[in-house]
Amino acid sequence: MATAASDFSDKVRTDALQLVTMSAIPGAVAALARLNIFQALGRAGDDAVLTVRELAALALPGKAINITYLARLLRLMAAKKVLREVVAVGDDGDVTERRYALEPIGRFLVDEAFLPLLLTFQSSGFLQTWEHIHESVLDDSIAPFTRAHGVNAWEYFQQNPELGVTFNKAMAGHSEVYMRAVLDVYRGFEHVNVLVDVGGGFGSSLRLITAKYPHVKGINFDLPQVIGACPPLPAVEHVSGDMFKSVPSGDAIFMKHILHDWDDESCITILKNCHQALPEYGKVIAVNHVLPEIIHFEGGDHMAVQGDIHMLAFNPSGACERTERDFRKLGLAAGFKQVQTICTVDNLLAVTEFHKTV
Ligand SMILES: C[S@@+](CC[C@H](N)C(=O)[O-])C[C@H]1O[C@@H](n2cnc3c(N)ncnc32)[C@H](O)[C@@H]1O
């Protein structure tokens, strides 16, 4: 006989209910971001602890709003430790006032590092994709995003340039945060003179690398529609093209979050094009989420597995996060002689070098 729901422990019931209502969390964060609430709290300064009405006046001046709705969204943020709630209680025990301040996660969002990423994932175009995952399990010839829209994400960005810009800002913000951490531990740019960033987006990684190593000349390589929107950067030349045809030459090639967008065959094509563009002593420096062989439930392990499903949902068929062994196999198949993980950041991102010679 099937177990009745009441036979499960309260912990199991609560965890299951959390799981099925979880989309309320990014949905509420996105709503508050679209209403400028985090940004307004950030502008109010580090010590700001504001009432709902004060926040509304700062973020949405002159707008008639449903203050109760706003208050409910803010309470969820306090429950999730994005905001801190400070309450005043009257003599009768009633809460007379609720005030809100930024917690570290909220502050991180205010920095705008991750807001564009959240707004990309919470856009209707991306949300519709989730309805199609099961169809791709049954028939992987069409990726979930393409099932939802008839085109892949890169083509969708061309049709919806506003979302394309938000996505490119998201990746720039991601690089801004993680490349600083990579540069703290990775020393492999020290002897590089010309560094090509394949799929470099707006060039944020090269901006940080060339700032730390001024002798490095950067070549930022991406699709024409991305390069066309790039801001000029000192020490960086923007070049447009298609990495599946060829990539510019340099003594090292950098790729952050590129290989996880593609299936093995496409990755080998990209790596072969890099191999051809490098001198004998050259190397590819790839920064990727690295999947654990076995999940140990340490912070990064969880995140890599979660990110892997984002790759499945939003990228062409076969796109995935990979283990260190997977990267080694790809590199050897593309003609590299040595593939080595040099260091990791946050137990999540690995810096892997692919060398042409041993
Ligand atoms: C996930 S983003 C990573 C951006 C950047 N490397 C970062 O980590 O911030 C993938 C990048 O690959 C670029 N891309 C996709 N297809 C490409 C192609 N065929 N040739 C060159 N770049 C391409 C996209 O435009 C995008 O900037």
> DSSP state, 233?
B
Question: Is the pTM here over 0.85, yes or no?
Answer: yes
| Shortest-distance atom of ligand 1 to CA 261 | 1
Radius of gyration of the chain (CA): 23
Q: Can you list the alpha helix ranges (DSSP code H) found in 60-123?
A: 67-79, 104-110, 115-121
Residues 6 or more apart whose CB falls under 8 angstroms from that of 92 comprise: none
Query: Structural domains in the chain?
Result: 5-110 (1.10.10.10), 115-355 (3.40.50.150)
> Which residue, judged by its Cα, is nearest atom 8 of ligand 1?
256
| Shortest-distance atom of ligand 1 to CA 168 | 27
Amino acid letter, residue 217: K
Amino acid letter, residue 341: T
| Shortest-distance atom of ligand 1 to CA 171 | 9
Ligand 1: centre distance to CA 235 (Å): 20
Ligand 1: centre distance to CA 32 (Å): 29
> Which residue, judged by its Cα, is nearest atom 27 of ligand 1?
201
Residue 340: burial class (beta carbons within 10 Å; 0-12, 13-18, 19+): middle
For a substitution probing ligand 1, which of 158, 174, 221, 243 has the most ligand atoms within 8 Å of its CB?
243
Q: Is the dihedral of CA 159, 163, 165, 168 positive or negative?
A: negative
The residues that bridge with 95 in the sheet, in sequence order, are 89
Q: Are 258 and 199 in contact, with CB atoms under 8 Å apart?
A: yes
To the query of whether residue 302 is one of the catalytic residues in this protein, the response is: no
Cα end-to-end span (Å), the chain:
62
Ligand 1: centre distance to CA 28 (Å): 29
Phi-psi sector, 176: left (phi>0), alpha (psi -120 to 50), beta: alpha
Mean pLDDT per 10-residue segment, the chain (358 residues) = 78 93 96 94 92 96 96 97 96 94 89 84 96 96 96 93 91 89 96 97 95 97 93 95 98 97 97 98 96 76 88 94 97 97 92 95
Of 132, 260, 275, 289, the active-site residue reads 260
Ligand 1 pocket by Cβ (under 6 Å): 154, 171, 174-175, 199-201, 222-223, 226, 242-244, 256-258, 261
Ligand 1: centre distance to CA 260 (Å): 11
Q: What would the pLDDT profile of 71-92 be if each residue is shown by its tens digit? A: 999 999 999 999 999 999 999 9
Q: What is the rounded distance in angstroms from the CA atom of residue 171 to the CA atom of residue 190?
A: 24
Q: What would the pLDDT profile of 277-334 be if each residue is shown by its tens digit? A: 999 999 999 999 999 888 876 666 788 899 999 999 999 999 999 999 999 999 999 9
Q: Are 107 and 42 in contact, with CB atoms under 8 Å apart?
A: yes
Ligand 1: centre distance to CA 259 (Å): 10
For a substitution probing ligand 1, which of 226, 255, 311, 349 has the most ligand atoms within 8 Å of its CB?
226
Q: Are 259 and 226 in contact, with CB atoms under 8 Å apart?
A: no
